[in-house]
Amino acid sequence: MFPYIPNTDEDVARMLEALGLDSVEALFSDVPEAVKLNRRLDLCAPLSETEVTKQIKALADQNVSTDSLVCFLGAGAYDHAVPSVIKHLIGRSEFNTAYTPYQPEISQGTLQAIFEYQTMIANLTGMDVANASMYDGASATAEAAMLAAANQKGDTVLIASTVHPETIAVVETYMRFKGIKVVQIGAKDGVMDRDALTAKLNADVVGVVVQQPNFYGIVEDYSGVAEAVHEAKALFIMNVDPIGAALLKTPGEYGADLAVGEGQPLGNGLNYGGPYLGFMASTKKQMRKLPGRIVGQTVDLDGKRAFTLTLQAREQHIRREKATSNICSNQALNALTATIFMSVTGREGLYQMAAETARRAYYGYEKLLATGHFKPAYAQPFFREFALEVNGGADVDSINAHLFENGILGGLNISDDNAQRILFCITEKRTVEEIDRLVEVLEAYPW
């Protein structure tokens, strides 16, 4: 008896009889003997719900999560608030157990939610249109670079070295197999070196990728970049943080052709790296080149407003090898999460969350500097994250171990041969007491 399989022995017998077969094994008589397994799979025996729960709970309990630590770690995944309504709504199985909305008549829930999502992402990034989501921020960035490579003349993608290393790595993988070169634009004082950009921009460049705020949390000034990139007939691709976008000059305002980013901070839990979602938005000009699913508004036979997957001529199931991308499944439920999150916070809430994040991060930054044990790695404006250099060369791993013993999850170790550096992250969830305690515990470190 298996709880997820309804057929009884009697049912099976009835069905076999209808098929004129005498055994279940006979259903597999078309599998050549040479490749038959003819043994039991070497896996556990079926377990009860209680047994499964105990076994998996034991694994979960071996982890020390941010549930029991005060988190000052970011670097690509952020501990922002996740409003309670989210789990209740995305847990509704009409959303959760549906497939891709190929049948619009019985998928208006998913389709309308995606339409709302596209609207919110377009508004957030200041772009004209958005697609229905990508796997994550890194692969969305790679897909944007692919779009540029497929449609612009040339064979080189420029990417700022201040972009998240994981994003650079994923872009490099995608480009390598497509025969496109990836050239990094060096940094000066923690931001993209504009002279290096100018020197590297030439007719071979198809796209330029930057990040806002950058990997070090720095808010870069990208004024004039779009103009220079467009002069070179390349596309300007901005990877932006969606919380920061509520506060900071948007890709649209900077004149970007494509805006991409990691949507995790929009209500998605940390989940050890996934599932998250990538978002992608573009100007109207690039609309028909976008990868992935897109939902459009139309009417039904009675003239009633309706939503449906559209512009499918771009997609793999129609265009096969000529498709703009191979993406099929995306991260729809995470996009729904983001949609509900942005509806919960709304215009004012998202702005306040971003502003409060910036204020608290700034407060922590000043307090940490006041200890005398750190100096700023870069003297630049920042949002949510900031890199500090350790005075006197104490080891960041050892500092983080000390924090961990005191229930604090420290920042990412971004040291190199020249200096010990730590990347702290402070979101709106960190209270003044927690930040003060971080400072206190650091003071107690045997410097």
Partner 1 sequence: MVNYDQLIFEISKPGRSAYRVAKADVCDKPIESIIPAGLLRETSLELPEVSEPQLVRHYTLLSQKNFGVDTGFYPLGSCTMKYNPKLNEDMAGFSGFAALHPQQKTQQTQGALELMYDLSAMLSEIGGMDAFTLQPAAGAHGELTGLMIMKAYHESRGDQKRTKIIVPDSAHGTNPASANVAGFDIVEIKSTRMGEIDLESLKAALGDDIAGLMLTNPNTLGLFDRNIVEIARLVHEAGGLLYYDGANLNAILGQTRPGDMGFDVVHYNLHKTFSTPHGGGGPGSGPVGVKAFLEPFLPTPVVIKSESSYDLSYDRPLSIGKVKSFYGNFGILVRAYTFILSMGAEGLKRASEMAVLNASYIQEKLKDHYQVFANTKCKHEFVLAGLKGELTQCSTLDVAKRLLDYGYHPPTIYFPLIVPNAIMIEPTESESLETLDDFIDIMIKISEEADTNPEALKQAPTTTPIRRVDEIRAARTPILKWEPTPATSEEA
* Window 384 to 423, contacts with partner 1 (CB under 8 A): 400, 404, 409, 412
Residue among 73 and 157 whose Cβ is closer to partner 1: 73
CA distance 62 to 149: 45
Residue among 122 and 201 whose Cβ is closer to partner 1: 122
Residue among 199 and 328 whose Cβ is closer to partner 1: 328
Q: Is the dihedral angle over the CA atoms 114, 119, 123, 129 positive or is it negative?
A: positive
Helix/strand/coil for 82 = coil
Taking residues 300 to 339 in sequence order and writing x for each that binds partner 1 by CB under 8 A, - otherwise, the string is: xxx-xxxxx-xxxx-xxxxxxxxx-xxxxxxxxxx-x--x
Taking residues 52 to 91 in sequence order and writing x for each that binds partner 1 by CB under 8 A, - otherwise, the string is: xx-xxxxxxxxxxxxx---x-xxxxx-x---x-x--xx-x
Of 421, 2, 442, 447, nearest in space to 215 by CA: 421
Give, as ranges, the residues between 8 and 37 that touch partner 1 (CB under 8 A).
11-12, 14-16, 18-19, 24, 27-32, 34-37
Residue among 349 and 376 whose Cβ is closer to partner 1: 349
Contact flag: residue 379 with partner 1 (CB under 8 A): no
Number of residues that bind partner 1 (CB under 8 A): 206
Contact flag: residue 381 with partner 1 (CB under 8 A): yes
Among 239, 286, 345, 420, binds partner 1 (CB under 8 A): 345
Give, as ranges, the residues between 263 and 302 that touch partner 1 (CB under 8 A).
269-277, 287, 293-302
Please state the closest distance from residue 208 (CB atom) to partner 1, in A.
Answer: 19
Taking residues 117 to 156 in sequence order and writing x for each that binds partner 1 by CB under 8 A, - otherwise, the string is: -xxx-xxx-x-xxx-xx-xxxxx------x----------
Under 8 Å CB-to-CB from 135, ≥6 apart: which residues?
A: 277, 278, 327, 330, 331
CA distance 291 to 287: 9
Among 344, 369, 419, 439, binds partner 1 (CB under 8 A): 344
Residue among 107 and 232 whose Cβ is closer to partner 1: 107
Taking only Cα atoms into account, the Rg of the chain, rounded to an integer number of angstroms, comes to 26
Please state the closest distance from residue 185 (CB atom) to partner 1, in A.
Answer: 19
Please state the closest distance from residue 131 (CB atom) to partner 1, in A.
Answer: 9
Among 22, 47, 198, 233, binds partner 1 (CB under 8 A): 47
Contact flag: residue 368 with partner 1 (CB under 8 A): no
CA distance 371 to 26: 76
Rounded to the nearest 10 degrees, the angle between the axes of helix 432-443 and helix 332-370 is 50
Q: Do 228 and 148 touch, CB atoms closer than 8 A? A: no
Give, as ranges, the residues between 183 and 212 that touch partner 1 (CB under 8 A).
none
Among 152, 155, 194, 252, binds partner 1 (CB under 8 A): 252
Pairing mode, strands 258-262 and 278-282: antiparallel
Among 22, 151, 153, 176, binds partner 1 (CB under 8 A): 176
Please state the closest distance from residue 156 (CB atom) to partner 1, in A.
Answer: 16
∠ CA 302-305-306, rounded to 5°: 100
∠ CA 395-401-405, rounded to 5°: 150
Please state the closest distance from residue 370 (CB atom) to partner 1, in A.
Answer: 13
Q: Do 22 and 16 touch, CB atoms closer than 8 A? A: yes
CA distance 307 to 300: 9
Could you tell me which stretch among 42-50, 231-239, 371-379, 438-446 binds partner 1 (CB under 8 A)?
42-50
Under 8 Å CB-to-CB from 350, ≥6 apart: which residues?
A: 243, 246, 342
CA distance 260 to 282: 9
